[in-house]
A = this chain, B = another copy of it.
Amino acid sequence: MKDMKGQEMKRLSLKDVAKMAGVAPSTVSFVLNGKARQMRISDELAEKVMAVVKKTGYQPHSVAVNLRTGQSKTLGLIVESISGSFFAALARVIETEADRFGYNIVYCSTENNAQKGSDLIRMLSRQQVDGYLITPAAGMEKDIQQLLAHKRPVVLMDSYFPGLAVPYVLIDNLAGVKQGMEHLLDKGYKKIGFVTVDMELVQVQDRLQGYKETLRDHGITVKNKQILKIGYSSPREESVRSIQQFIKDNKGMDAIFFSTNYLGILGLESIAGLGLKIPDDMAMICFDDHDIFRLYPPGITVVQQPIEEIAKTAMGLLMNQLDKSQRYTRKSQVQVPGKFIRRGSA
């Protein structure tokens, strides 16, 4: 009952606390920030101050602290799409990690639009965020470069820009795809198609590269006809139609590798729409897991992203940059292996 008030009655200021304790504001500040010893405040007085702080439940006004110290204790998290399952899961882990380090997250999405990404970065920097966690959209290279030029702490996730010396964390796309492809070839699938998204980002290119390399390694000729690129913002129905056309155009194709979970879901629709059975009429593997893939009969085989590891590593890299102590960072460009999960589809 008694300690229920101080929460925000009229917002106690540090000055008020000082007055109550009969000391100067600076003294209170020193005590609260653990600089009492350093500033030679007597233990006796420090205790008196702490007593008042406890009793009143005083909480520093974070905006004022922010203004004075220049530290907002806030990080900007920019993802591609706030409702995508991969990004949502990522955000969730990052949120709790940030909390452990005493940071808050401002969470926003580009919807894969470089212009919006650019605006968001500007917005966040106006908001004085201390660092950035970004899953970059195509075309955001310049913006990232600017952040770097201004020496702002940044970590990229899920993708990166080959030319930029910026810390990043992402799955080993090449190896992930290769593992999946090897599995398909092992199981005897002969004519394997690849459906990907039409974007410039490295992770997309790497996945395609993984497909091509595996085939070449097995002495199989890569045919462009067996590769389908779908526009990112192409409407659902249209995408489904083009996947179906793709299947029809490739008679004898017995398996498809989908390069993102979004495409895999479209694939499910397309295949079902054609009345084909998975895996008998058509096998499939998808890069990046999704709830649906666990459930959709017969279960879709996937290369799963180690989301928790990615998020934690990224936070670690960011904290490293934020740390004043600037300990030398061994390696700031990290690729983590994906996890191949076999289900019924291949």
Interface of A with B (CB < 8 Å)? 7-8, 59, 61-64, 66-67, 72, 81-83, 85, 88-89, 91-92, 95, 104-109, 122-123, 125-128, 146, 150, 265, 268-269, 272, 291-292, 295-297
Q: Nearest 9 A-B pairs (CB), nearest first? A: A83-B88, A107-B107, A82-B92, A63-B67, A83-B92, A292-B292, A63-B66, A88-B88, A8-B150
Across the interface, name the chain B residue whose C-beta is closest to A87: B88
Would you call A92 and B109 a contact (CB within 8 A)? yes
Please give, as numbers and ranges, the residues of chain B lying within 8 Å of A122 by CB-CB distance: 7
Cβ–Cβ contact A108 & B95, under 8 A: yes
**Minimal Cβ-Cβ distance residue in B for A85:** B83
Q: Is the CB of A123 within 8 A of B104?
A: yes
For the complex, what is the distance from the CA of A109 to the CA of B98, rounded to whole Å? 13
Other CB < 8 Å A-B pairs besides A106-B107, A291-B291, 20 of them? A7-B150, A61-B67, A63-B67, A63-B72, A63-B127, A63-B128, A67-B67, A83-B88, A83-B91, A85-B85, A88-B88, A92-B109, A95-B108, A104-B123, A105-B106, A106-B106, A272-B297, A292-B295, A296-B296, A297-B297
Closest chain B CB from A73 CB (angstroms)? 9
List B contacts of A59 (CB < 8 A): 126
- Whether the pair A83, B72 counts as a contact (CB closer than 8 A) is no
A126 partner, pick from B62, B89, B106, B269, beta carbons under 8 A:
B62
Oligomeric state, in copies: 2
Cα–Cα distance between A8 and B132 once the two chains are bound (Å):
15
Residues on B with C-beta less than 8 A from A92 are: 81-83, 109
Contacts of A95 in B (CB 8 A): 82, 108-109
A sample of 18 cross-chain residue pairs with beta-carbon separation below 8 angstroms, ordered by A number, consists of A7-B122, A61-B67, A62-B127, A62-B128, A63-B67, A63-B72, A63-B128, A81-B92, A82-B88, A83-B88, A92-B109, A95-B109, A104-B123, A105-B107, A105-B108, A272-B295, A272-B297, A295-B296
A291 surroundings in chain B (CB, below 8 A): 265, 291-292
Docked pose: A109 CA to B81 CA in angstroms: 18
Contacts of A91 in B (CB 8 A): 82-83, 107
Residue in contact with A269 in the complex, picked from B61, B108, B295, CB distance below 8 Å:
B295
Contacts of A123 in B (CB 8 A): 104
Cα–Cα distance between A296 and B82 once the two chains are bound (Å) = 23
Chain B residues in 8 Å Cβ range of A127:
62-63, 104
A52 to B123, CA, bound (A): 21
Contacts of A67 in B (CB 8 A): 61, 63-64, 67
Note all chain B residues with C-beta closer than 8 A to A106: 104-107
A292 contacts across to B, CB distance below 8 A? 291-292, 295-296
* C-alpha gap A150/B6 in the complex (Å): 12
- Bound form: Cα–Cα A296–B269 in Å: 9
List, in ascending order, chain B residues with CB within 8 A of A89's CB. Answer: 83
- Measured between C-beta atoms, what is the minimum distance from A239 to chain B in Å? 14
A135 nearest CB across to chain B (Å): 15
Interface centre among A59, A92, A272 (most CB of B within 10 A): A92
Which residues of the partner chain B approach A72 to less than 8 Å between Cβ atoms? 63
By a CB distance below 8 angstroms, the chain B residues around A8 are 125, 150
Cα A107 to Cα B122 in complex, Å, equals 19
